[in-house]
Structures are given as C-alpha cells and as structure tokens.
Chains A and B, each alone.
Chain A
Amino acid sequence: MSSLELLSIAIIMLYVLGTVCIAVGLLARRDRLKRLSQWLTLAGFALHTVMLGLSMQGQTWQVLEKAYYFRMLSWSLLLIYFFVWWRLRLEFLGLTASPVALVFYVSSFMLADVQSKLPPAMSGLFFGLHIGTLFLSFSLMTMAFGSGILFLYMDRKLKHKARLSGFDRDLPALSAFDKVNHLAVMAGFPLFTLGMVSGFVWARIAWGKMLSWDPKEVVSLVVWGMFALLFHQRLALGWRGRKTAVMAIWIFAVCVFSLLGVNFLMTTHHSFNPQ
C-alpha cells in the first residue's frame, strides 16, 4: 500500500468520525462532541490538503481530471465550510459539509482510470476558470442546502407554534440561516456564471462549437437558469427566507444529479466512465 493510499484511509476515517461526532453531538446536545467533530474534520482537511499537495507535485494539471476531480471537490467543500464557520459560527453546517465531503471523497475511488483529454498548455487556466469556480460555487450551494433544510424546519415550527425540543433550542436564529443563503447566492452565482462561460469558450476552442446539447451541458444550463432566477429575486425583489431556501435545495439537488448521475450514467463528454 502506498503512502498516498494510507493517507486516503486516514482522511476517510477522520471524515467518518467527524460526521458521526457532529450528528451525535447535535442530537444528544453534547458541546464537547461538537467541538471534537470540528477538530476531527479539520485534521482530515489538513491531511487532505497535504495529500493533494503531494500528488500534484511534479504533475501537470492533467492529473486533476482523474480521481482528483472529486477529491478537489470534497476539499473545496470543506474549505467553504470552514470559511462559513469562521464568518458565521454555524456548527450545524458541519452536518451537511462532513458527510457530503465524505461521499465525494469516497466516490473519487471510482474514477481511478479516467484520462483527461486536455492539452497541458491550457489546463492550468482552464482548471481555475472552469473547475475551480464551479467547485466553489457548488460548495457554497451545499451550505445553502444545509441551512435551507434547517430554515424550513424551524420556519415551520415557528409558524405552527409547535413545541420546541432541546435540539430546536440549540439551533441558531432563523436569520443566521438566511445569511448563509445570501452569501451562497451572492458569491455562488457569479462564480457559477464564470465557470459556465469559460466552459463554453473552452468547448469552442476544443471542439469548434459552443453547445453540443450534451446532457451535462443541458443540466448545467438548467442549474444556471435556476441560479439566475434566485440571484435576481434575491437582489432585485428582496426575496428571502422560505422561497430562497426552497430554491437553494432544488439547485443543490440538480447539481448533485449533474455531478453523480450525469457523469456516471449518461453519455457525455464529461463522462467518468472509462471508454
């Protein structure tokens, strides 16, 4: 077993433990477990960073189209999580961040043999503009998804004057969840747009046409449309609260479908299925 594989196992273990700790800590209302989860996830994230650094050493950007695709995604998810946590102190988002990061990290093992079709000269720029932006944007939407679920849960309870359990009392105020949505939409939509545009430009250069009605492209356009609507309504009409939470959840769902469903199951030039 290579040292990278050992590292991977350690990372997965830390993420699993982090996920379990945050779930148990929140449900059983144990502050110490919550803090422990924070540290475990942070340790996993540190190892994750080391691993990405090691495997990129002496490699071109090409390598990142392979298994590292999902590892980068998982990494950026936690990067955003820690950023949001630092800004808003919402430990609850760990409940979405840790498991989703774990899922993508584990998924990366299914991609071991995929080859990149990118010419090395362009990949650095392309990577940053297309993949980097979309990853960050997706990570932000994951946070909006987690806070959206909790917003809907609490909103319902308050509207129906339902009895608040101990778990509910530990939840932050409704406005905090909306802040996450605000951040995700305001930063996420421009990033997503940039990622889309660079993708089309790159398609024009590589394949000679912008749009080839590939399933991935179609799904991405749908996401962009939803995202644009949400961005507009939030900014221009001052939408907030329930409607924006619902939209964020939908956008996240379609994104996950696009990442896992389309890439693995459909014929697309983004496919991960080794041909």
Chain B
Amino acid sequence: MTRNPEPTPRAAYPAGHNTHPAKPTKNMDQEIYLIGLNHRTASVEVRERFALTDCTVLEQGVVPTGDDISEVVILSTCNRVEIMAVGTGSGAPERVPERVLDCWAAARGQKRCDLEPFVYVHKGIDAVRHLFSVASSLDSMVVGEPQILGQLKDAYRKAVGRNATRVVLNRLLHKAFSVAKRVRTETAVASSAVSISYAAVELAKRIFGEMSQYKAMLVGAGEMAELAATHLLNSGIREIMVANRTFERGLQLAKQFKGEAVLFQDLFVRLAEADIVISSTGAHEPIIRARDIKDVLKRRKNRPMFFIDIAVPRDIDPDVNNLDNVYLYDIDDLKEVVEENMAQRRDEAAKARSIVEEEAGNFAKWLKSLDLQPTIVDLLRRSERIAQDELARTLKRIGPVDEPTREALQAMLCAIVKKVNHEPITFLKRRFDEEEAGTRYIDITRRMFNLDCDDVPEDAHSDRKHPQQRDDA
C-alpha cells in the first residue's frame, strides 16, 4: 500500500527542459459542474416537484448537444438532486448551467424560474469537493448515514449504462467512492447510532452479541417501539412478541412483524421468554416493577434481559436496573447516547472534511494534467528519472569512471529517452487534434505509465463487469 514517492511538482520543472514548447493546439479545458438542490436549499415540496426519478429525459436533453456538455451523471434522492456534468469549450461556463437547468425544469414540466432560486451551481474543485462530501455522507441530513453512497453508485451505474460518462466523470465517481471508503475506514463518522431506536439496538448487541437466538417483547404499541422492532428484525432477532392492552391492535402489529400477540394479563408469564423488552404504553404508573422481574429472572435462570423504556411517564420502575443481569435504558438514557454519538460524529466530520479537501485537491491536479503538455512533460520526466537511476546504479557497480566516459553514457541515455518517447509523443499529438479522442488517449497514457502514481487496489476492476469499459465506444 506504499505510495510511489515520486513527486510531481509541475511548476518546479525547469522550463529549459521542456523540449516541446507550449503551443495551444486546441482548448481542451474540461470543467466539472455540479448543479443541484438539497434538503438545506429546498423544502420538501420543492424537492418533490423537481425530483428526477427518471433521468433519461434529462440526459437525452443534455448529452446530445455534445459541444458544451460531454458527460453527465444524475443523482436524485428524496433529500437531494445532484447533476454532475462536464463542460468543454470556451463558452461552457455560462452555457452548461443554463442548459442543465432548462432541461431539468422541462423534464419535470416546470418553469426554470421556479427552480432557479433553490439551486446551487458548483464549478471545478468546488464541484469535486461537494461531490466527495455527498459521497462520504458529510452533506447528509444525518451526517454519516451510509445510504447515500449506494444511491450514488446506482446513479453512476445507470449513467454508465446509458453511455453518458467518459474519462472525467468515470474517474471522478470512482474517486468519490474511494474517498467515501477512506472516510469510513479512517474516521468514525459512521460508526455510532444517531437515532433512538437504532441506539437501542446497538446496546442490545453490546449485551447479547449475535441476535438470532433472542426474542423481543413489545409492551404497548407506540410508534417508536414499532421502529425499534423493525431495527431489531433487521439485525436478525428471532421473534417479536406483542403485548398490548387492546389485543386487536397487538394482533395487528404482531402480524406486521410475523410475531405473536400476547394477552396483556399474561405479560409476566410470557416475559420470561423475552430477552429484550421494549415498553411504550400510556400508563400513568410503572407497570413493570423490580419484584415482578425478580420472579421472571428466576424462571429464566438469570439469562440477561434488556429493558428499553420509551414511554413517558415511564413504564418500568428504575429499580429494575439494580438487578443483576438486567439492563434498563429509559428514553433519556437513550437520548444521551444519541447526543454523545452525534457529538462524536461532528468531531469526526471535521477529520473527514480534511480528507475530502485533500482528495479534491488531488483530483483537481489530475484534471489539470489531463492535457497534452503536462502529459508529455510527465512522460519524459518519468523516462529520464528511470534512466538516471539506472545510470547511478551501474556506475556504483562498475566503480569510478573518468569524466568523458560518464558524459558519453549520459548522452547516450538522453538519446535513448528521446527516441523511445518520440513515437508515443507524436502519436499523442496527432490524436489530440482529433475530436474527443484526445482526452481519452491522454488518460490512457497517464494510466499506462502510471504518471499520477496511483496505487491501484487489487479489486480495482471488479466492477468492470458492467459495460463501463468503453474503449470501443
């Protein structure tokens, strides 16, 4: 996993070395645009109105005008719409956002002026940074919730399927996924529960571990209890029982969870079977007391129990917590856990932002280098460096030589470097003048010679089973 330490400070490269004087052949400036709205800029009504559940209309509107926009990926979820586009040509800065907004409004049968006030337009490194933040879930309503990454991957896969991406967005999206992964592994931004019901499930896991052999009992059928039960089911709990004062409602809920409804008067009899108890009745007095539970514990041979009391006023006597092998969390305890986790996430988000910042910088550097001149310079420099290293190694092995020999060797190496690179460079220059193939060949060259010193993970191409390889396109 070590990075190739070769530095590539382009500016530091002595100008005299540049054997190919800068000759602006064609403006290949590619700029990344990100146009979108999210839960902060637009209310839910607006988001509903402009959600792009079907991206094809918009894509078809945007892409064929090839001149301005060459690539596009559209992400649309309930909390945001993000349209990533790559613009080419000198007029792009004005035309790209206009064009996208026009098509967007048209795709939803709305007027552009209704849309414009809620939309942000990012360009260049700002767009990259924004996308990386979105992918890493730093921009989400609940920071760190991981769904957005899956949604982004879906959006990208669809765009690839429709042939709407090329070099820049391919790399940008892949980079976004790897940044998200880095954020997840290097920071704890997503490692703790930030909803009450999920925090309860996390605590249950701290006590029981693997959930598949445990049963839960819902006492009362509040909304939050229902949510917690759903989380429990998702984490693999064996069965859910429901004890509700009105048996019909209990029956209904039990059916929903494929569980069993229990008569309320049988509560303490059946409680011995339950490992996790979620209580949310509207009772004014505690209904579960320590002395009842003592008896229950005896019957279940002290197997641990976890009580979650989300009712206000509380259903479960706090004394229950003093019993061995019994853990009781009430709503305030859970809120506290959530607060702590939130605070931790905020701390971690700062760390994550610096990762995003760093990676966005790297990406911008790459984008800039995706031009003819920098690539030629990098290519020559790489060869020269290899030649010099090999020369040094050889000289070390054969011992000291006199100055003329040294110079002759040096000259020979220079000649080899130039001649070896001559054909590839001529080829590149020729292709670069052609239509859009230019960027692609530059990208291929950079990757072929690893000019960006990327470390390629072993599973880098595992997702290439999708028709993303487009060299024959």
Tell me, rounded to whole Å, the shortest Cβ–Cβ distance linking B464 to chain A: 29
Identify the closest chain A residue to B205 (Cβ): A173
Tell me, rounded to whole Å, the shortest Cβ–Cβ distance linking A170 to chain B: 11
Identify the closest chain A residue to B297 (Cβ): A238
Tell me, rounded to whole Å, the shortest Cβ–Cβ distance linking A153 to chain B: 12
Flag whether A166 is at the interface (Cβ < 8 A).
Answer: yes
The number of residues on chain B lying at the interface, defined by a beta carbon within 8 Å of a beta carbon of chain A, is 23
- Using known A-B contacts A169-B191, A242-B324, determine if residue A174 contacts B206 with beta carbons closer than 8 Å: yes
Contact between chains at B208 and A175 (CB < 8 Å): yes
Flag whether B243 is at the interface (Cβ < 8 A).
Answer: no
Q: Inside 8 A of A161's CB, which chain B residues have their CB?
A: 329, 333, 336-337
Kindly identify, within residues 151 to 205 of chain A, every residue whose CB is under 8 Å from any CB belonging to chain B: 154, 158-159, 161, 163-164, 166, 169, 172-176
Known: A158-B203, A161-B329, A175-B304. 12 other contacts (CB 8 A): A154-B206, A163-B340, A169-B191, A169-B192, A172-B209, A173-B205, A173-B210, A174-B207, A174-B208, A237-B302, A240-B303, A242-B325
Q: Inside 8 A of B321's CB, which chain A residues have their CB?
A: 159
Contact between chains at A158 and B209 (CB < 8 Å): no
Q: Inside 8 A of B336's CB, which chain A residues have their CB?
A: 161
Closest 10 CB pairs of A and B: A238-B301, A173-B209, A241-B325, A161-B333, A238-B302, A174-B207, A240-B302, A175-B209, A242-B324, A158-B327
Contact between chains at A173 and B302 (CB < 8 Å): no
Pairs A–B under 8 Å by Cβ, sample size 16:
A161-B333, A161-B336, A163-B340, A164-B206, A173-B206, A173-B207, A173-B208, A173-B210, A175-B207, A175-B208, A175-B304, A239-B302, A240-B303, A240-B304, A241-B304, A242-B325
Contact between chains at A158 and B324 (CB < 8 Å): no
Flag whether B46 is at the interface (Cβ < 8 A).
Answer: no
Kindly identify, within residues 204 to 239 of chain B, every residue whose CB is under 8 Å from any CB belonging to chain A: 205-210
Question: Which single member of A164, A175, A241 contacts B324 (CB below 8 Å)?
Answer: A241
CA distance A172 to B207 in the complex (A): 9
Tell me, rounded to whole Å, the shortest Cβ–Cβ distance linking B57 to chain A: 46
Q: A225-255, CB under 8 A of B: which get 1 and which 0? A: 0000000000001111111000000000000
Identify the closest chain A residue to B330 (Cβ): A161
Question: Which single member of A158, A238, A240 contacts B207 (CB below 8 Å)?
Answer: A158
Q: Inside 8 A of B301's CB, which chain A residues have their CB?
A: 237-238, 240
Identify the closest chain B residue to A160 (Cβ): B321
CA distance A238 to B272 in the complex (A): 14
Flag whether B188 is at the interface (Cβ < 8 A).
Answer: yes
CA distance A159 to B324 in the complex (A): 10
Instruction: Name, among B203, B209, B321, B333, the residue most crowded by chain A CB atoms within 10 Å (CB to CB).
Output: B209
Q: Inside 8 A of A237's CB, which chain B residues have their CB?
A: 301-302
Question: Which single member of B192, B325, B329, B340 contacts A240 (CB below 8 Å)?
Answer: B325
CA distance A51 to B189 in the complex (A): 49
Tell me, rounded to whole Å, the shortest Cβ–Cβ distance linking B216 to chain A: 15
Kindly identify, within residues 129 to 167 of chain A, every residue whose CB is under 8 Å from any CB belonging to chain B: 154, 158-159, 161, 163-164, 166
Contact between chains at B304 and A243 (CB < 8 Å): no
Question: Which single member of B188, B210, B303, B340 contacts A166 (CB below 8 Å)?
Answer: B188
Tell me, rounded to whole Å, the shortest Cβ–Cβ distance linking B217 to chain A: 18
Instruction: Name, among A159, A172, A243, the residue most crowded by chain B CB atoms within 10 Å (CB to CB).
Output: A159
CA distance A240 to B300 in the complex (A): 11
Question: Which single member of B192, B210, B327 contacts A159 (CB below 8 Å)?
Answer: B327
The number of residues on chain A lying at the interface, defined by a beta carbon within 8 Å of a beta carbon of chain B, is 20
Tell me, rounded to whole Å, the shortest Cβ–Cβ distance linking A242 to chain B: 5
Q: B187-207, CB under 8 A of A: which get 1 and which 0? A: 010011000000000010111
CA distance A242 to B302 in the complex (A): 11
Tell me, rounded to whole Å, the shortest Cβ–Cβ distance linking A240 to chain B: 5
Identify the closest chain B residue to A178 (Cβ): B304
CA distance A164 to B192 in the complex (A): 10
Contact between chains at B324 and A243 (CB < 8 Å): yes
CA distance A32 to B187 in the complex (A): 17
CA distance A243 to B301 in the complex (A): 14
Q: Inside 8 A of A243's CB, which chain B residues have their CB?
A: 324
Identify the closest chain B residue to A179 (Cβ): B209
CA distance A176 to B209 in the complex (A): 7
Tell me, rounded to whole Å, the shortest Cβ–Cβ distance linking A31 to chain B: 11
Kindly identify, within residues 305 to 347 of chain B, every residue whose CB is under 8 Å from any CB belonging to chain A: 321, 324-325, 327, 329, 333, 336-337, 340
Instruction: Name, among A159, A173, A241, the residue most crowded by chain B CB atoms within 10 Å (CB to CB).
Output: A173
Tell me, rounded to whole Å, the shortest Cβ–Cβ distance linking B296 to chain A: 13
Q: Inside 8 A of A176's CB, which chain B residues have their CB?
A: 209
CA distance A163 to B336 in the complex (A): 9
CA distance A164 to B333 in the complex (A): 13
CA distance A239 to B301 in the complex (A): 7
Tell me, rounded to whole Å, the shortest Cβ–Cβ distance linking A39 to chain B: 19
Q: Inside 8 A of B327's CB, which chain A residues have their CB?
A: 158-159
CA distance A174 to B208 in the complex (A): 6
CA distance A151 to B301 in the complex (A): 19
CA distance A63 to B339 in the complex (A): 62
CA distance A170 to B272 in the complex (A): 30
Tell me, rounded to whole Å, the shortest Cβ–Cβ distance linking B201 to chain A: 13
CA distance A237 to B298 in the complex (A): 8
CA distance A158 to B202 in the complex (A): 12
Q: Inside 8 A of A166's CB, which chain B residues have their CB?
A: 188
Tell me, rounded to whole Å, the shortest Cβ–Cβ distance linking A196 to chain B: 28
Instruction: Name, among A158, A169, A237, the residue most crowded by chain B CB atoms within 10 Å (CB to CB).
Output: A158
Instruction: Name, among B192, B208, B324, the residue most crowded by chain A CB atoms within 10 Å (CB to CB).
Output: B324
CA distance A243 to B297 in the complex (A): 15
Identify the closest chain A residue to B332 (Cβ): A161
Q: Inside 8 A of B207's CB, which chain A residues have their CB?
A: 158, 173-175
CA distance A239 to B324 in the complex (A): 10
Q: Inside 8 A of B203's CB, which chain A residues have their CB?
A: 158
Tell me, rounded to whole Å, the shortest Cβ–Cβ distance linking A176 to chain B: 6
Q: Inside 8 A of B303's CB, which chain A residues have their CB?
A: 238, 240
CA distance A240 to B340 in the complex (A): 31
